[in-house]
Each structure stands twice: as structure tokens, then as C-alpha cells.
Homo-oligomer: A and B are copies of this chain.
Amino acid sequence: MNLLPNLPCMCSSVRRASRALTQLYEQALRPTGLRATQFTILQVLSRAGEVLQGQLGEMLAMDSTTLTRTLEIMIKREWVAERRGEDRRQRWLRLSKAGKSKLHRTLPAWEKVQSQLQRELGETTWKHLFRVADQLTVLATTDHK
């Protein structure tokens, strides 16, 4: 019996979907030992190349100081490599060899859960969802601050 109440608050509703989705994806990724956030960072770095911590934060709509803690774990596990910039306050981040390998070994499990969900949602809703999620991110990050 699934009595999902409609939540009147958009934030609550999206957060609930985010929790549910995170549980689904993390279950699929569990054998690889990657958490959702960690997988996301690997995938973004793999596409973006070397970026500053602050840039990575903007790309993920995540506070740069939050990344300090997450990256600490990922650097310790040697998935991510760092170097100080000429401006020595800055920190440049990139995927290490081990990180690239970790990502590639993780992709099959990710593709499986991702494509199953896509099938269940249908192509139209799927694409729409990407668009509206990104729109939401843009609006919410433009609005405040």
C-alpha cells in the first residue's frame, strides 16, 4: 500500500524525489563502493578536465566548502588528483588514472539503472525531466545571492 501524499511544497516534493532516486541509484552502485555524489564528481571531472574547486562547486550547485570534505575522501582514495594554482589559494582538480578506471568500471551498473528508469518514465518525460531539472537549478541559483 503506497499512500504517497501530494506535498504542496515544491522543495519538499523535489527533495523527496531526490531521496528516492538517490536510494535507487546508490543501491545499483553499492557493489562499486561509490556514493551518488562521488560518482557525479568523477563523471563531471571526466568531461570537464581540470577545474578549480570553486568552479566544480558552481557546476554542481554545491557550496565550495562542502567539496573540501567530499574531495578529501576522494583524494585519499586516489580517484582525484589536486595541485595548487599559480594563485596559491586556488586548488585545481582532475581525475587521476585510478579515478578514470574507477569511473569506467562503474558505468555499466549506472547505465543499467539509468536506462531502466528511462524505460519506465518514457522518452518524452525523461527528456522533459532533464530540461526542467536544469531550469530549476538555473532559476534557484540565479534568484538568491
- A-side residues, CB < 8 A to B, are 2-25, 27, 36-37, 39-40, 43-44, 47-48, 58-62, 110, 114, 116-118, 120-121, 125-126, 128-130, 132-144
Instruction: Give 20 CB contacts A-B under 8 Å.
Output: A2-B58, A4-B58, A4-B59, A5-B47, A9-B39, A9-B110, A10-B21, A11-B21, A13-B129, A13-B133, A13-B134, A14-B21, A14-B129, A16-B60, A16-B133, A19-B61, A120-B139, A128-B128, A128-B132, A129-B136
The minimal Cβ–Cβ distance linking A49 to chain B, given in whole angstroms, is 12
Nearest opposing residue in chain B for A61, CB measure: B20
CA distance A8 to B114 in the complex (A): 10
What chain B residues lie within 8 Å of A61 (beta carbons)?
4, 16-17, 19-20, 23
The minimal Cβ–Cβ distance linking A131 to chain B, given in whole angstroms, is 9
CA distance A2 to B135 in the complex (A): 12
CA distance A142 to B9 in the complex (A): 22
* Given A14-B14, A116-B143, 17 new contacts (CB under 8 A): A2-B138, A2-B142, A4-B58, A5-B44, A5-B48, A8-B43, A10-B129, A10-B130, A11-B22, A11-B36, A12-B36, A12-B44, A13-B129, A15-B18, A17-B136, A20-B140, A120-B139
